[in-house]
Structure 1
């Protein structure tokens, strides 16, 4: 275990069931942070709604385990903070104009999903899980996928990638702490894919279609349709083919 320049610890495992599951175990044992938990290989990685997240050796799997210095009701905003940090990290290896952010927690390269983010409230601590397709990409997904190796070879190793991601995260985190969600929201929207375009939002019991108008002051998606404008706090977005650029 070593420290990054921010003071955050980083621990790399050859194999774990899941970096997020390891963060949960630490929370249950009373351990503290901040610490990055990395796995060179995961055997039971998962994403939103418990979906399996496939990851092979060479891909990035990491979880930041820490206690945010902010009221718990604001912790969800850190999804946008880490998304900006992840995009900035990928910027270091790929042209910025190829990268976009997708609500609520994906990073796209030329319209294909390359990275995903999962926030889990663990009581007194928060786990921010991140998976990035470095060398492989899952097959049979209902959306386009991408991997870093098709744009930069070799892609950065997990330790170097985590160190860069950590630096960007704490920079955006400090801005969020000082100025609130407004500047983070503006920065996220400046990099968001599909704003002003037709999308479909999949909810647990229905699908809604309309125009993606942006996000509100809480981070909820704003969807405009013939039925009116509504905000959506959680869901899965699918772009029309024309809006994935």
Structure 2
């Protein structure tokens, strides 16, 4: 059953609201959706542009999975966002960039931020934060960004409303989550891999304390990126800013 969906006109951050509800002891699985965020956040504390007309949503859920396994939910989220965009976009333009950036014609159209903590019930709470550029794309971003409005099918005049997009996203997420819960991570990773580009070419991973350059060599069974360096060493990258393609080094500089 699809969780309840709370639609708010404005909030500081849907992830922050999910954290507050989790720390208050709430146990209901729920989507928190806002028309506008006053303090949206991306990975590593980066500001997330929150223009009205775009989708800002967080799923709050509980799990008994260990933290490393629970982190696989980021792949579930990426597949759900891809399904949302596929429902309205020109065929063939939706793809995923490792691990969870969903792209439209090669430009970033969404972001996913997973946060977690220990619930009063001793379960792990997960806040699966998702932002999707429905109507607008931010300017002056580190990587080129786009919006669904720029890639709509010819029979669709306008991007979906926040309410409609949230409903499609929640339904798609529920399908993938059920597969993950009942069949394990392998079918999730298989579906994710078919949508993901750059897993067999030049790659640069910017990890904060170091930058690793090499050739992407697919992904490990847990979803970590396999990166083979020039000296033949195989590095497993679980998190970081990763750039793919022949110009990866220039874009990572």
Both proteins in one fold, TM over 0.5 = yes
Give the match for residue 11 of structure 1: 6
Q: Which of 74, 77, 80 is 1:79 aligned to?
A: 74
After superposition, give the CA deviation of every residue in 1:199-224 in whole Å (9 maximum; x if it has no partner).
21110111111122221111111111
After superposition, give the CA deviation of every residue in 1:39-98 in whole Å (9 maximum; x if it has no partner).
101010001111100011101100001113534431111100111111011111113411
Give the match for residue 158 of structure 1: 162
2:181 & 2:76 partners in 1: Cα distance?
Answer: 11
After superposition, give the CA deviation of every residue in 1:82-126 in whole Å (9 maximum; x if it has no partner).
111110111111134111111122100011000011110132311
The reply on whether 1:44 has 2:50 as its aligned counterpart is no
1:242 to partner: Cα distance = 6.8
Checking the alignment, whether the CA contact within 8 Å between 1:55 and 1:136 is kept in structure 2 is no
Give the match for residue 138 of structure 2: 138
The reply on whether 1:53 has 2:48 as its aligned counterpart is yes
Checking the alignment, whether the CA contact within 8 Å between 2:51 and 2:136 is kept in structure 1 is yes
1:158 to partner: Cα distance = 1.3
The reply on whether 1:209 has 2:213 as its aligned counterpart is yes
The reply on whether 1:232 has 2:237 as its aligned counterpart is yes
Q: Name the stretch that deviates more: 75-84 or 212-221.
A: 212-221
2:115 & 2:44 partners in 1: Cα distance?
Answer: 11
Checking the alignment, whether the CA contact within 8 Å between 1:202 and 1:236 is kept in structure 2 is yes
The reply on whether 1:122 has 2:126 as its aligned counterpart is no
TM-score (norm: length of structure 2): 0.89
1:133 to partner: Cα distance = 1.0
Give the match for residue 107 of structure 1: 102
- For residues 193 and 242 of structure 1, do their structure 2 counterparts lie closer, same or farther at Cα, with a shift above 3 Å needed? farther
After superposition, give the CA deviation of every residue in 1:124-160 in whole Å (9 maximum; x if it has no partner).
3110000011122122222121111112241111111
The reply on whether 1:27 has 2:31 as its aligned counterpart is no
Q: Which runs of 4+ in 1 moved over 2 A?
A: 68-73, 239-243
TM-score (norm: length of structure 1): 0.92
1:177 to partner: Cα distance = 1.4
1:19 & 1:187 partners in 2: Cα distance?
Answer: 28
Give the match for residue 193 of structure 1: 197
Q: What is the number of residues matched between the two proteins? A: 238
Structure 2 unpaired stretches of 5+: 120-124, 249-253
Checking the alignment, whether the CA contact within 8 Å between 2:13 and 2:37 is kept in structure 1 is yes
The reply on whether 1:98 has 2:103 as its aligned counterpart is no
2:134 & 2:29 partners in 1: Cα distance?
Answer: 25
After superposition, give the CA deviation of every residue in 1:160-216 in whole Å (9 maximum; x if it has no partner).
111111111111111111221111111111100212121211101111111222211
2:214 & 2:62 partners in 1: Cα distance?
Answer: 37
Structural RMSD (CA): 1.5
- For residues 210 and 96 of structure 1, do their structure 2 counterparts lie closer, same or farther at Cα, with a shift above 3 Å needed? farther
Checking the alignment, whether the CA contact within 8 Å between 2:215 and 2:227 is kept in structure 1 is yes
